[in-house]
Chains A and B, each alone.
Chain A
């Protein structure tokens, strides 16, 4: 493959989509000397790492609100702190709210709460240590391309060997325990470990936020272990970016620019142009065209193939694979502008800036999940709340606050369309929060609800799913995004993928972008 720009092409690489993985990938490619043009549809870089003013004076991390997996390697390689990334808070505790003020909180391996028995507290510490071993094993396969099972190279065989060896090294007991739990669900795992319902539900939420799974869904334990990879990367709880998540996007963009990446914002790519199975360039919605021998898509795989490349330019087997990727989301986002600090029953001021979770027990979450199976939204939803302005006065005028909540669960489609339900659902969400913060309704000066459809529209993710493809065992490693497009290359020559829809997924980790860049550069050498 020829990577050098021929006189006929404008750039070495065209990168479609300036989400975090796109920016990371572009930076690594530019650092290796490639001439990269990155095209982002939105007016700010970062994709889901974005800060947006949703009411005058009130800004919010409009999509992702926590950082808990950003790869320290990426952070260092791209010198993100030099380029403006600052933490407003790190290693936050997760607080399970209780209507009567009997909150329970978890931070690292410590669990605390007046209702928490000593036994559960100790079990939690042991549970945390054991699962961290598993997550460490998982983390070891995230930072490289996934191995292929068939026609594998020596490198692939070594990777598989390493994974097998890693499993073996857990020791007989832990290995068989991992094999036992990886396919079961959080409900069972929590029930057999803990008695405290709040603790069971709080840990379950770690597995379920951003998914279309309930506590009893298969793959939820895998999802939990996947989340816990953050611990391996040095996060013992969620972190909050100063200035909102958009500052992560800006830092990534600044780093990319410093590496030589040319970034065009508000440049919507309408097609990735191919000829005879070879990527040739892209066409913007404005009609402008660019050519390059390599096109890298940071857009989710389904959108990339279905809309940008176009199914008709792909072979049927690929179309079938892409059509069967599960991208469904069950997640909405609520933003509230408040004219004062919200007052949660029994929560002290120091705790207000932590991660607040409304999920009293696992059955509550499962019931909330039931709705989404039938394209309905939860009557009593589970919420993952950030009152970010407590830790960061940039986000709201002095004395005022913003609350953002990840809402589980809302379907992509509801009968009658979302516009007919938006107000009702918002009111339901306020009712739900008001059970824990009784005065909140009177504090709200503005609100915004982003349904999965809104998230899809605003962030260009198929189905509004922020993982770009459900993180389940049949959609990870060499099956992500689908067999035949693993290792970041695709059936279209010269087209690579680098989004959360590829190994190892999103989560603002940045490793998909980094791994993709490495594979692209490796391809250039061979």
Chain B
């Protein structure tokens, strides 16, 4: 019973800190580009404001648009139950739950893409089209990356493959795992729509990917989408941490603290990348993602050897 409560606590903590993690990314970027930037906790205030607002709906939209943000939020939150935030155990899990995790994220994407097409806007159609293009490259690469800890640890569940078994063999398989971590970092940037693949701070619709897809969502729905995006970022960053910083052998409290510290580091690293790089041209993005998948393939071959 206590273990369940503890695991539930860890999952809730992950859901709670998510906006702050994104806040840290933006703050790092601002500081490095010579601005002061918004406080790290600004995300919570924005969220509170958006959740209190009314909304304007497009005349063209159907009920599919009304439920899209909810589906995105719920699938993301349910997926969070499979992620080991403390690096030891998730709320639930079973051998092969990786497909459920990816399937839930894909279901959320499906809802947002369909909602974008529901508006009949060519901007949003364009964003949705780019989103599915990125998705078709990210998803296989994500599986290849997570194959590495799976094969190294011999565990088929998400929490298991990042748990104590991995900590035991980590030094043996370090090269492959580090390569997988590097790839996961690129995928994290791609999935959360950050520079150099997408830029959440851009102001021109034609250059956006994720943001333009949700152009017609406003108020409550926009708040939910932004929050779910933050949770998605935190989950993927947690998986990345699990691969490069195995915490399965640490004491529970230490593992949790190390996890939060690691999360902050990942967020700052993303912020640094945002500060020092410009956006890639859209036709270069597939090259980056395919290269990532190739690197992940090499990592899988290393660990299979």
Interaction A to B: no
Question: Interface of B with A (CB < 8 Å)?
Answer: none
Question: Interface of A with B (CB < 8 Å)?
Answer: none
